[in-house]
Amino acid sequence: MGKKFLKTNNGIINIFIFILLVVSSLIYYFTREIQLLFALSDWWFLLESFVPCFLLFLLLYRLKSNVKWLEDIENRLFVICLVGLPVLILSGKHTKDYDWNYINTTGGIITYGVIDEIQLAEGTGYITIHYKEKNNINKELELSRSLTFAKKLSVGDTVLLLHSLDYKISFFYDKNPTHEKIQRCKNGCYYINGKIVDSLDNQ
């Protein structure tokens, strides 16, 4: 009786963890929309990136008593990579598409910036850029990109950044802009309906 109760109890806990895993994965997939809706900081994204991985690892650890193959930690990590990689790729594509749709709908501002620092970590490059907003206020922006992308950049490079009109979304517009583009957008220019214009009156 006691063993049966314990087994049932463990099953319920595993189902609960699985539901949390699905919910946290969906939240991660729609993290950009949630971040903008509630004006959350980048710490939200870091936390939400960690939660699904932790829940999946916890679930697999609890299942190892029922699935002998999962007793080996390397096998559990393999499952995490097998499940996590597609979620990571799909979520990244969704976020990128959402950012572009958001700017195409509301309009954007293109500013030029100078790369101040590049930090290379395993699989990721963290790029710090200094730029000026339309009101000439100096700003610092940190973007994370793939290692391959980051290695093509150097400290001191001038790049063009595309921001939403409310500056809630920012990303690279052109990492190798021509001199003409830099001069045109030196004081900021606008991105409206897929075109660069000098004023919102030109849309």
Given this model, what pLDDT does residue 48 score? Answer: 81
Counted residue by residue, the chain has a size of 203
pLDDT band at 201 (very low <50, low <70, confident <90, very high): low
pLDDT band at 202 (very low <50, low <70, confident <90, very high): low
How many other CB atoms sit within 10 Å of the CB of residue 184? 17
How many other CB atoms sit within 10 Å of the CB of residue 163? 23
Among 25-39, 100-114, 123-137, 160-174, which stretch is predicted with the lowest mean pLDDT? 123-137
Given this model, what pLDDT does residue 101 score? Answer: 92
Q: b or e along 119-130 (b: 16 or more beta carbons within 10 Å of the residue's beta carbon)? A: eeeeeebebbbe
Q: 41-74, pLDDT tens digit by residue? A: 767 777 788 899 999 999 999 998 888 888 898 9
Q: d(Cα 155, Cα 88) in Å, to the nearest integer?
A: 28
Q: 74-124, pLDDT tens digit by residue? A: 999 899 999 989 998 999 899 999 999 999 888 899 998 999 999 998 778
Identify each DSSP E strand in 15-167 by its residue range.
Answer: 108-121, 124-132, 138-146, 158-164
The domains located in the chain, with CATH, are: 2-104 (no CATH), 108-202 (2.40.50)
Closest CA relative to residue 194, chosen from 97, 111, 108, 96? 108
pLDDT band at 186 (very low <50, low <70, confident <90, very high): confident
Among 120-124, 165-169, 197-201, which stretch is predicted with the lowest mean pLDDT? 197-201
Helix (H) or strand (E) holding 190: strand 189-192
Given this model, what pLDDT does residue 193 score? Answer: 82
Given this model, what pLDDT does residue 166 score? Answer: 85
pTM of the model: 0.77
- Given a contact cutoff of 8 angstroms between Cβ atoms, the answer to whether 191 and 174 are in contact is no
- Given a contact cutoff of 8 angstroms between Cβ atoms, the answer to whether 132 and 108 are in contact is no
Dihedral angle sign, alpha carbons of residues 15, 55, 46, 101: negative
Given this model, what pLDDT does residue 138 score? Answer: 85
Q: 113-144, pLDDT tens digit by residue? A: 999 999 998 778 899 999 987 667 788 898 88
Closest CA relative to residue 153, chosen from 190, 134, 125? 125
Between the alpha carbon of residue 53 and those of residues 28, 57, 124, 178, 195, the distances in Å are: 11, 6, 18, 42, 40
How many other CB atoms sit within 10 Å of the CB of residue 10? 14
